[in-house]
Amino acid sequence: MKHIKKDVDIIKNLKTIEWLKSEMLTSLANLYQILAKGEDDIKEDLEDLISNIILLSYLLSKRLGLNYEDIDSNLQDKIKLSLIEDHKIEKWHGDLSELLEFIMSK
């Protein structure tokens, strides 16, 4: 009986991973679609889609056996490395240092 339960859990996890990937692709496609239209007053839609992509990324990472703390730590490391490497987005806009400051303040 324990073997059946484990098989069901594995299948359920795989289905969840596939669903999360599909949702992420849908959100990304919707983001591209909104940006391509070039309409005004899309701030709320953009916030909704981008926050959904971030949420789905965290949920997918959990289903893939990663933990939230490691994802956050890796994100901070990527930002710091990009700062050291003088990434263009930092040179042009200062976005990376602003993001790192925001993340570290939480």
61-99 pLDDT, tens digit per residue, is: 999 999 999 999 999 999 999 999 999 999 999 999 999
- Our measurement of the distance from residue 4's CA atom to the centroid of its chain's CA atoms, rounded to an integer in Å, reads 33
What's the pLDDT at 22?
A: 98
Cβ atoms 58, 68 nearer than 8 A: yes
- pLDDT for 2 beyond 70: no
Q: Using CA of residue 19, residue 20, residue 22, residue 23, what is the dihedral sign?
A: positive
What's the pLDDT at 39?
A: 83
What's the pLDDT at 1?
A: 62
pTM of the model as a whole: 0.86
What's the CA gap between 91 and 3, in Å, rounded?
55
